[in-house]
Amino acid sequence: MSADRRRVVVTGIGAITPVGLDAVSSWSAIKRGISGIGPITLFDTADYKVKIAGEVSGWDNSLHFERKDARRLDRFSEFFIVASRHAIEDAGLSYSGDPEAASRVGVMVGAGFGGMGSFIDEIDTLRDRGPGRVSPTGVPRIIPNMAAGLVSIEHGLTGPVSCVVTACSASANAIGDATELIRRGAADVMIAGGAEAAITTFGVATFAQARALSARNDDPEGASRPFDASRDGFVMGEGGAVLVLESLEHAEARGARPLAEITGYGMSADAYHITLPRPGGTGAARAMKAAMDDAGLTPGDIGYINAHGTSTSANDSTETAAIRIALGSEADATPVSSTKSMTGHILGGAGSVEAVFSILALRDQVLPPTINYETPDPECDLDYVPNVARELEFDHAMSNSFGFGGHNVSLIFSRV
């Protein structure tokens, strides 16, 4: 860790997930091992092989947006905007009437697809009703950067505003990239995270055709089973989460209470395949090692890993191998769990949601469980905190996110 770079802390969090409409209720469900997976209600699945997903149950956009505004928003943007409101409120931030301070605050969103639902709707309109009926707000609803733009507009934030699109590592990249902006002095505060709302006709159909999804339709709550020998694919989830990041000096100056410090950010590429991870886990291990080097930590310092843990055959065994490479002899003593066992895979929003859970695990000194872990897999032989949360004293948590195209990201959060 460079001695002259600025330290970055987390002072606010917000989350909208399949197990809760805010961070508090989501974390409560996660600690209790509650699954958010159920039958898909967002569209008719009669002709679909896969009929289950992790929907955000009870979501009502009319509670958060005026009707005219809601018509201009995709579901994924709604999640990001509301999670940002929660995080900003949690951090106690307000820049009303202070344009100079607002110019030092930015927004960074990560998404894999962006407005997939809106894109499908507009294509259907074009095909069925002709070009004259396509909405003039179609493009703003679809493009993934718009979620960050809308948050900056709503709160008058005129600092760096950007978007990362790196598949399922996108929101972890967004958090890491936002951290770097603060470290180098380009911003004092960043609103960073991601969202996804891809439980759509096309989203489910294409992943099902790729045989990536669990078809355990008769047992939704047991379908996402990371590291278990009987896993048969991931379960799609939706939602999003946001962190308020700020320099330690800025937080101290305004009397903010840091929840955690971001001490490590590592990236690597598999350079192997468009969807499959590199066998043996060497690519993912490089990201984990880079994060530890960035934080100035050794493998023995890592007290917990929130795994990417998708419940697919290739990912879970490869990530296990990667952890063994990165942590060496410390791997057996390091607890690892996958909260995707309860939320499903939120794709581009997954990294931000799991960052929130990692931070709250640090705060409460409680490890979230991997539920549905019943049958050990010889290729997955670590401590996966099976089925029940565990109390543990630890100072550093690592969160892994890997994406199609070979993107690997690791973040490290530390107690302040």
**Residue 241: closest CA among 399, 367, 339, 356:** 356
CA distance 363 to 28: 13
The β-bridge relationship of strands 390-391 and 366-367 is: antiparallel
Task: Tell me which of 86, 155, 163, 168 is the catalytic residue.
Answer: 168
Task: Tell me which of 86, 155, 250, 308 is the catalytic residue.
Answer: 308
Task: Tell me which of 155, 250, 345, 407 is the catalytic residue.
Answer: 345
**Residue 315: closest CA among 214, 402, 211, 220:** 402
- Four-CA torsion 166, 405, 222, 114, nearest 10 degrees: 30
* Cβ 295 vs Cβ 263: under 8 Å: yes
Q: CA 315 → CA 121, 304, 347, distances in Å?
A: 32, 19, 14
308 part of the active site: yes
273 part of the active site: no
* Cβ 399 vs Cβ 358: under 8 Å: yes
CA distance 125 to 153: 29
* Cβ 43 vs Cβ 116: under 8 Å: no
345 part of the active site: yes
* Cβ 7 vs Cβ 239: under 8 Å: no
Active-site positions read 168, 308, 345
